Amino acid sequence: MIMKQTVKKHNNNAWKPALVLLLLFIGAQGFLVPSTVRKYQSCIIENLQHTSGQGSITYNWNAVSGASNYKTYYVRLSDGYTSETFTVYSTCKPYSGLTSGAYRFYFAADCGSGTLEYIADEVIL
């Protein structure tokens, strides 16, 4: 007895539109990642400068695109005292009432990424 069997062929091209969409999605993500990295890397304070006097120091820096504020604090190197972290809404931070000695001042731009990239400046007052 001969049986007749009908075999249904699958459309071999049915997966192509899905693959194209997947590749477009992955490609778009690939283009977004570098710009995200660039955005993060550009959130670093540049051109940090200071002027100092008896027991005081004032820092200035270039504005950082995308920064909503800046964070700064200092460490007195003679005894390791660490100041509170100050939030600054301008590109200038004066410190006063400092005793003579070596200090390390830290500054970071807050661009909302949740990660702060501090730069430091060490001075002797």
Q: What is residue 111's DSSP assignment? A: -
The answer as to whether 86 is a domain residue is yes
Q: pLDDT tens-digit profile of 65-97?
A: 999 999 999 999 999 999 999 999 999 999 999
Answer yes or no: do 28 and 88 share one domain.
no
Using a cut of 0.75, tell me whether the model's pTM lies above it: no
Q: How far apart are CA 99 and CA 24, in angstroms?
A: 60
Q: pLDDT tens-digit profile of 103-123?
A: 999 999 999 988 899 999 999
Answer yes or no: do 31 and 87 share one domain.
no
Answer yes or no: do 25 and 58 share one domain.
no
Answer yes or no: do 85 and 113 share one domain.
yes
Range of the domain at 77: 49-124
Q: How far apart are CA 110 and CA 90, in angstroms?
A: 12
Between 15 and 92, the more confident residue is 92
Answer yes or no: do 120 and 70 share one domain.
yes
Q: In this structure, are residues 110 and 116 in contact, taking their beta carbons and an 8 Å threshold?
A: yes
The answer as to whether 4 is a domain residue is no
The answer as to whether 99 is a domain residue is yes
Res. 23: pLDDT tops 90: no
Res. 46: pLDDT tops 80: yes
Q: How far apart are CA 86 and CA 23, in angstroms?
A: 46
